[in-house]
Amino acid sequence: MELLKDLLQVLGRIYTIYPLLLGVTLFMGRRSIAELPVFDYIIILSLGSVVGADIADPKIEHIHTAFAIIAIGLLQKLASILLVKSRRIGKWITFEPLIVVKDGQFVYPNMKKARYSIDNILQMLRKEQIFDMAEVDMAVLEPSGALSILKKMEKTAVTLEDLKLKRQNAGLSYAVVKEGRIQTITLQKLNLTGEWLETQLGERGIPLDQVFFASLDEQKNLNITIYDKEIPLPPLYH
């Protein structure tokens, strides 16, 4: 009998707390989960923890949970208002946007700051149908973790339909150096060798250990990012 009473209490809490949670979520505003900044993500986690604890433990006072949900919702609303009014506060409670690719080259200091690897960025580019970094004018890692991409003008100005041309295979590039290490298997599949690659780097006066990333396109053109190369970057704001 005691178990049945507890189960009914849990059921009652579910039916009363979720309408309140829905109302508070609607009050906080529309935001895609994929676009949540770090502060809002913490808010969602907090709400989930509070509601989960209330449902799972009948000993917790229901009114306390309701108060906590309302307080968390008000905190998020206050923070969103302050974010609009003050950029300084925005810098304190969320990540800043970072340029991770400029003129077809990785921006190593910003990737290190964001703790993103080469493979992370390449995967995100492929999701946007970009398989050759040389096509990218600028890629920005947003506070939400999404990647915003600006393609080079010559890659976007006209379409095949505009020129009435038949579709050809998209340009591909292959990673041949990652963090100073030659990708031997990739070179073998391209019928090339590490010696050939080192010769190409030597002709450009670039030591292998200074290469953060290098890719090779189908025309055997090398695109190289050097660790300590200074790349002029435009200012970005939240």
Note whether 98-155 and 174-226 share their fold: yes
Residue carrying the six token digits 């391209």:
190
Secondary structure (3-state) at 37: coil
Q: Which of 147, 68, 73 is nearest to 106 (CA)?
A: 147
Secondary structure (3-state) at 177: strand
130, 173 contact by CB (below 8 A) = no
Q: How far is CA 124 from CA 128, 141, 238, in A?
A: 7, 10, 21
Q: Which CATH number fits domain 98-155: 3.40.930.10, 3.40.50.261, 1.10.3720.10, 3.30.240.20?
A: 3.30.240.20
pLDDT by residue (tens digit) across 174-197?
999 999 999 999 999 999 999 999
pLDDT by residue (tens digit) across 16-64?
777 777 777 677 665 555 556 677 778 888 888 888 888 778 778 878 8
Distance CA 202, CA 22 (A): 62
Pull the structure tokens for residue 208.
């292998």
Distance CA 229, CA 211 (A): 10
62, 108 contact by CB (below 8 A) = no
The pLDDT of residue 119: 94
176, 199 contact by CB (below 8 A) = no
Pull the structure tokens for residue 86.
């003050």
The pLDDT of residue 167: 47
Q: What ranges do the domains of the chain cover?
A: 1-91, 98-155, 174-226
Pull the structure tokens for residue 115.
């703790």
Q: How far is CA 89 from CA 32, 36, 44, 72, 102, in A?
A: 22, 17, 20, 18, 28
Q: Which of 218, 211, 203, 204 is nearest to 182 (CA)?
A: 211
pLDDT by residue (tens digit) across 83-138?
777 777 767 777 788 999 999 999 999 999 999 999 999 999 999 999 999 999 99
Pull the structure tokens for residue 209.
């250990």
Helices and strands, number each (H, E), in the chain: 10, 8
Higher pLDDT, 218 or 167: 218
Q: Determine the CATH number of domain 174-226.
A: 3.30.240.20
Q: Which amino acid is at 159?
A: T
